[in-house]
Amino acid sequence: ALPKQYVAFTPCFRREHMSAGRDVRGIKRVHWFDKVEMVVHCVPEDSPSWLDRLTALAVEVLELLELPVRVTERCTGDLGFTALRGFDVDAWGPAANEWLEVSSASDCGSLQAERSNIKFRREAGGKAEHVHILNASGVALPRLMIAIMENYQQKDGSLLIPKAVRAYVGGREKIAPGEFAL
């Protein structure tokens, strides 16, 4: 029965053409990173609501961390070959004075299902139809760390720990300058 929801944790490797300049140093645009990918197979009429749900998951993470968040719909020129519609979720990086993309969600319609021959039947003996496939990345940890550090650093150089993660760091509220965090 649909929907089917899948999640995968995978290493990813980025090879960029013309990769030179300020965005290739540090942790903003790394060439190797781990990523959580969420995939949904659903009936065609449910794909718009699933796209909203997948986008909302990334927004929820940023809101729990009390970070400034922005959602933008990608134009067709920015969509991948298989995508019908997509959204980027960005966190604000005040030191860099820019929005940092931390997640993206895409509705790929039936194209991937057609190529993979993934079908479903609404009822036993009914006509086989292609599912719609959606995917979204979990939040990108390197860029999320940039946003946390830039939004939570204090004038004395200390770093406040977001309330949502304090339970995972022994209840600590801040990290002092020069102090090893964990």
In the residue annotation, 29 being an active-site residue is answered as: yes
| pLDDT at 160 > cutoff 60 | yes
In the residue annotation, 143 being an active-site residue is answered as: yes
Pick the CATH number of 4-153 from 3.30.930.10, 1.10.1060.10, 3.10.129.10, 3.90.1150.10: 3.30.930.10
Confidence of residue 96 (pLDDT cuts 50, 70, 90): confident
Q: Which residues contact 138 (CB under 8 A, 6 or more apart)?
A: 35, 36, 37, 38, 58, 103
Which member of 101, 158, 166, 172 is catalytic?
Answer: 101
In the residue annotation, 98 being an active-site residue is answered as: no
| pLDDT at 16 > cutoff 90 | no
pLDDT computed for residue 23 by the predictor: 53
Confidence of residue 67 (pLDDT cuts 50, 70, 90): very high
Which member of 47, 106, 137, 143 is catalytic?
Answer: 143
Q: Which residues of 104-126 are buried (b: 16+ CB within 10 A; e: fewer)?
A: bbbbbbbebbeeeeeebeeeeee
Q: Are strands 69-73 and 98-107 parallel, antiparallel or unpaired?
A: unpaired
Which member of 14, 115, 121, 122 is catalytic?
Answer: 14
Confidence of residue 32 (pLDDT cuts 50, 70, 90): confident
Q: pTM of the prediction?
A: 0.85
| pLDDT at 29 > cutoff 70 | no
d(C-alpha 167, C-alpha 164), whole Å: 7
Which member of 104, 106, 110, 137 is catalytic?
Answer: 104
pLDDT computed for residue 125 by the predictor: 94
Nearest residue to 55 (alpha-carbon basis) of 109, 111, 102, 10:
102
pLDDT computed for residue 108 by the predictor: 97
| pLDDT at 75 > cutoff 70 | yes
